[in-house]
Amino acid sequence: MKEFEGYKYIEGGVCAAKGFKANGLYCGIKKSPVPDGNESPISNTKNDLCLVASDVMCNAASVFTQNKVKGAPVVVSQKNLAATGGRAQAFILNSKNANTCNADGEEKAYRMCELAAERLGIKREEVLVAQTGVIGQVFPIEPVEEKIDELVAGLGYEKNLEAAIAIMTTDTVKKEVAVEFELDGKLCHLGGMGKGSGMIHPNMATTLNIITTDCAVSAEMIQKALSDVVKITYNCLSVDGDQSTNDTCAVMANGLAGNTEITSEGKDYEVFKQALYIVMMNITRMLAKDGEGATKLLECHVTGAPDLDTAIIIAKSVICSPLVKCAMYGADANCGRIMCAMGYAETDCDVTHADVYYISKAGKILVCGKGLGLQFDEDLAKAILSEDEITIFVDLHEGDAEATAWGCDLTYDYVKINGDYRS
């Protein structure tokens, strides 16, 4: 992970911040089959329910999917945040069933909040809820009711791993990051966990993510920082071009670090915002690298753009291109696919004079200069594109703005995974 001055990576994920505890367990939302040796390493055999709770009330903010079809937990969490004015103390999440397109979906999502609230001694609206998995299947609330006592009783300040595993679906690895930094002479911590492998193409939202911090910051400033950072991290992520119905990213801040509460922009706000960026950027990379069936992490860095929005649009256009993704899988250094993807990006920027490089730990090679294909060392290009992390570097020569988008290659396994997703 890239180092940032003034910030130290630490262990702990959502439990890294003072006063946050978590737990995860298998409750049976989706029945676990007898292993036959052919299932995904995380398929149906891991935790499927988790809870993250703070010792004290938190200021909170969130971003959600912009899909017109919204999962019941998205609707319920939005209503709960509105009811409390941006306050929350716990977050309950499950995998295996998205509770979306169900007639009784909101009723059961509220029941999830109620079950956690009753045992934590807080109000129902002070609990956020997120769910992920198959869409359009009735959500069985009974397994949650049966295991909620065990879930709450097992809460611990070092149970971040149990929680991170519980939100995995087709993910093959857990995704969590945490950092330590100083504010107002106080040591602060910010950590998060995320899930996502397929159906990833956010728009002011992302996959399921929860971020916790002991930094004291108002709900308004959390929302501002989150909205700004999500634009250049999660919103620059695409695995397959399909935006989920359940995308949720929430930040909870309990203030236990003891710093003076951040209520306006300034130096302290920028320090907090940078910590949020570091955690969200790294989780974004993890999500991209673990795309369904993926063998390579792809990063498109666009520089020389006239403005940030243009840089983002072009970088995402390249990352989202099925032909680019296939070329990267096959280690085919076809610069025409990059130029094509930039050319249909919805921007007025003149991309016809761009330089295009392929970069990895095997080297760097210029394959397109001033918009024209070049002769290059095919063997070197093949070696560069055979690595598991590849950067497509584009210089537009149109300004000073830059942006990065993240994705993965498109493989045969992606089709296989999604061809029998419900099996």
Q: What is the pLDDT of residues 68-105, one digit of tens each?
A: 999 999 999 999 999 999 999 999 999 999 999 999 99
Contacts of 421 (CB under 8 A, 6+ apart): 134, 170
Question: How many percent of the chain have pLDDT more than 70?
Answer: 93
Q: Distance between CA atoms of 124 and 169, rounded to whole angstroms? A: 27
Q: Do residues 176 and 309 both lie within one domain?
A: no
CATH no. for residue 30? 3.60.70.12
Residue 103: other Cβ atoms inside 10 A: 8
Do 209 and 77 have their domain in common?
Answer: yes
Instruction: Write the pLDDT tens digit of every residue in 178-211.
Output: 999 999 999 999 999 998 766 667 775 557 899 9
Q: How confident is the model at residue 33 (pLDDT cuts 50, 70, 90)?
A: very low
Which residues span the domain enclosing 17?
Answer: 8-289
Residue 333, domain member (yes or no):
yes
DSSP string, 51-115: EEEEEEEEEEEEEE---SS--HHHHHHHHHHHHHTSEEEEEEEE-SB---S-TTHHHHHHHHHHH
Q: Which residue has the higher pLDDT, 238 or 271?
A: 271
Length of the chain: 423
Do residue 232 and residue 90 come from a single domain? yes
Q: Could you say which of 229, 257, 289 is where a domain stops? A: 289
Is position 2 within any domain? Answer: no
Banded model confidence at residue 243, pLDDT cuts 50, 70, 90: confident
Note whether 108 and 81 are same-domain residues. Answer: yes
Query: In the listed set 289, 315, 339, which residue is the last one of a domain according to the structure?
Result: 289
Judge whether 82 lies within some domain: yes
Residues 228 and 328 in one domain: no
Question: Would 370 be classed as within a structural domain?
Answer: yes
Joined together, the tokens standing for residue 170 give 């087709």
Catalytic annotation, residues: 206
Task: Quickly state the pLDDT bin for 171 (edges 50, 70, 90).
Answer: confident
Mean local confidence (pLDDT), 113-117: 98
Residues 35 and 53 in one domain: yes
State yes or no: pLDDT of 301 exceeds 50: yes
Residue 56 falls within a domain, yes or no? yes
Q: Are residues 273 and 305 in the same domain?
A: no
Q: Quick check: 311 pLDDT over 80?
A: yes
Q: Is the pLDDT of residue 213 over 70?
A: yes
Name 235's Cβ contacts closer than 8 Å, sequence gap at least 6: 202, 203, 204, 205, 206, 312
306: CATH: 3.10.20.340
Chosen domain end from 289, 321, 348:
289
In a domain, 1, yes or no: no
Q: How many domains does the chain have?
A: 2
In a domain, 138, yes or no: yes
Same domain as 192, residue 339: no
Do 304 and 284 lie in one domain? The reply is no
pLDDT at 207: 78
* Phi-psi sector, 304: left (phi>0), alpha (psi -120 to 50), beta: left
Instruction: Compute φ and ψ for 240, nearest 5 degrees.
Output: -140, 5
CA gap 317, 307 in Å, rounded: 16
My answer on whether 285 and 310 are in the same domain is no
Is the domain of 211 the same as that of 313? no
3 assigned to some structural domain? no
Same domain, 96 and 235: yes
SS3 label, residue 291? coil
**pTM, to two decimals:** 0.89
